[in-house]
Amino acid sequence: MSLSALIFDVDGTLAETERDGHRVAFNHAFKSLGLPWCWSVELYGNLLAIGGGKERLKYYLTNFHPDFTFDDDFIVKVYQLKNKYFQQLITENKISLRPGVIRLITEAKESNIKMAIASTSGIDNVEALINHIFPAHLQDCFAVIVAGDMVAQKKPAPSIYLLALQKLQLPPQECLAIEDTAVGLRAAKGAGLTTVITVNDYTLHDDFTGADLILNNLGEPSLPFSVIAGDSYGETFFNLNLAKSLNEL
């Protein structure tokens, strides 16, 4: 079918937010609360198998500190403090967009292709990222933003993508998702979406069985992507022509 919309994940897909963003912010939150925890790069990579920051923290405490007593209020307190530090990192320009993101979004906007976000990150974090890192003329480019606790079940459940499709008022056959994790792939595929993966250091070795195309990043005309798996139809950077070719399969 024809391509009507692109749906983007945020963390690790639009921007390099995980290792030097959320991980650092969690560690700041722990330290400010006098908690003796520190998430290393390797540990955080393992925790990313759990979708959602609050869910990730609960998993960590349950499995790594089973004697530590906590309730939902504690989780929310840490999470909100983490978000405060994360947004500071954004305003300090410590977070960067991934290659090809601005180019693709610009092309989609100029071609009247709708765009949406489907992220387990909190809505405040998503909006802070868009408002501080995106050029001013692209800050209103997302017709739909579905994030955080807008759905009860986080990725890998398809709920967040199904809600995005509902708000877009489009069938999955007319949309394409861009993700960076196996958890995100399962969510997008569960909603019936053609899905492109752009890996990062954390997800390079994930199992992406079922992905329609796996790339190292979206690429630029002067910085071609590397195809890890799938057919790029002769393109050297991800563009709407390639998106349409994949969506017609």
- 206 is known as an active-site residue: no
- 9 is known as an active-site residue: yes
Catalytic residue among 11, 180, 206, 212: 11
Catalytic residue among 9, 180, 206, 212: 9
Q: Which two tokens stand for residue 82?
A: 């983490």
Question: Which positions are catalytic?
Answer: 9, 11
